[in-house]
Structure 1
Amino acid sequence: MPQGVTLDSPRLEDGAALWRIARDSRVLDLNSCYSYLLWCRDYAETSIVARSGDAGAHGEPGAPVGFITGYTRPAAPSTLLVWQVAVDETHRGRGLAAAMLDALTLRARSERGVDVIETTITPDNAASRRLFTSFATRHGAAVSREVLFDAAAFPEDGHAPEVLYRIGPIAPSHPHRPSPSQ
């Protein structure tokens, strides 16, 4: 966990900051600001926000510097679908995305019985592929891949296919840590 950063559930007032972080990523499909506000209201329990350590003068939480939005699938309630992962440019390269994913998974496992993580990744997104495959390795979980939505499913030209990564089952313990003899 990067120093000076805390993890928390998103709050309604975080919606605009999440939208800005997604917009500034220049990689994510940008949803409307309204959708991030709804996400912070309706899916806070299955999402996570990273906050800078700079609390306000009255003890209000620090500003969001990263987030993961997710939801449990209605047809598969033990599956957490990770929708978006984003880290503010000033906090990238410090392991924050992995720390958020580990913490969110641990919370979802504890509170909701989640034992499978799903996400979709376009073939050109090497950073997301690394994030989720290293997550699977840390948790000793299998990874399967299949095209969920091919390019023809999208109304605009040039959208890459979305490949579904299914990771699980996730062990009920903490992430895999090598024993001293390994």
Structure 2
Amino acid sequence: MSVPTVTLRRPTDGDGFSLHQLVARCQPLDTNSVYCNLLQCSDFADTAIAAEDAQGQLVGFISGYRPPSRPDTLFVWQVAVDASMRGQGLALRMLLALTERVAAQGVRFMETTISPDNGASQALFKKAFAQLGADYSTRTLFSRSEHFAGRHEDEVLYRAGPFDLPHSKEKSEETA
């Protein structure tokens, strides 16, 4: 089996609707409005990464942001990978490429929240932290009872770092 060519790049506002469709296909991810996805692809493009296949279709996306009170931190909001691309390491490649890009802007820590039953996301981030040589800690950030009225699993904060990546010039596109 050959691995399809995927290009990793900074998103543009033209990706907003495709992102909305991708997330809808990636259950159980929470869907946001198309408008929110447009903002993720425009205002938050510096802290997001898009993966497109050889036909130009969006097959992966990571959205994130730098919390205003912690500009040395990338908070990864959502990781979406099309079913056709799962099991090929695309999520890890995207996460590491995004981390390398934001490290050049002074980011030294990564945070994300993961529900306790999401073993795939836990494995992804633990593998990324190991490859970055970063220790991590966890704590419940948003609890089922206090924040979700019992209707959603806890959201456990994973915080990793500091990591120290070389400050290389960012590539505008990377073929993975």
Q: TM-score, normalised by structure 2?
A: 0.89
| Structure 1 unaligned spans of 5+ | 55-61, 175-182
Shift of 1:173: 3.7
Match of 1:38 in 2: 39
Q: How far apart, in 2, do the equivalents of 1:76 and 1:52 lie? A: 34
Alignment of 1:41-52 (within 5 A): 41-52=42-53
Match of 2:138 in 1: 145
Match of 1:79 in 2: 73
Alignment of 1:42-121 (within 5 A): 42-54=43-55, 62-110=56-104, 112-121=105-114
| Structure 2 unaligned spans of 5+ | 168-176
Shift of 1:155: 4.6
Q: How far apart, in 2, do the equivalents of 1:154 and 1:31 lie? A: 19
Match of 1:15 in 2: 16
Q: How far apart, in 2, do the equivalents of 1:45 and 1:70 lie? A: 9
Answer with 116-125 or 150-159: which moved more. 150-159
Structure 1 residue 158 corresponds to structure 2 residue 151: yes
Shift of 1:158: 2.3
Other structure's SS at 2:72 match: strand
Other structure's SS at 1:159 match: coil
Residue 169 to residue 128, structure 1, CA distance change in 2 (3 Å): same
Task: Choose 1 or 2 for highest CA Rg.
Answer: 1
Q: Letter of the 1:102 partner, please give it.
A: L
CA contact (8 A) 2:4 2:53 kept: no
Q: How far apart, in 1, do the equivalents of 2:21 and 2:117 lie? A: 23
Other structure's SS at 2:42 match: helix
Structure with larger RCO (C-alpha < 8 A, sep 6+): 2
Other structure's SS at 1:74 match: coil
Shift of 1:156: 5.3
CA contact (8 A) 2:72 2:109 kept: yes
Other structure's SS at 1:101 match: helix
Percent identity, please: 46
Shift of 1:32: 1.2
Shift of 1:19: 1.0
Shift of 1:21: 1.2
Other structure's SS at 1:31 match: coil
Answer with 120-129 or 30-39: which moved more. 30-39
Answer with 150-159 or 31-40: which moved more. 150-159
Shift of 1:17: 1.1
Q: TM-score, normalised by structure 1?
A: 0.87
Other structure's SS at 2:110 match: strand
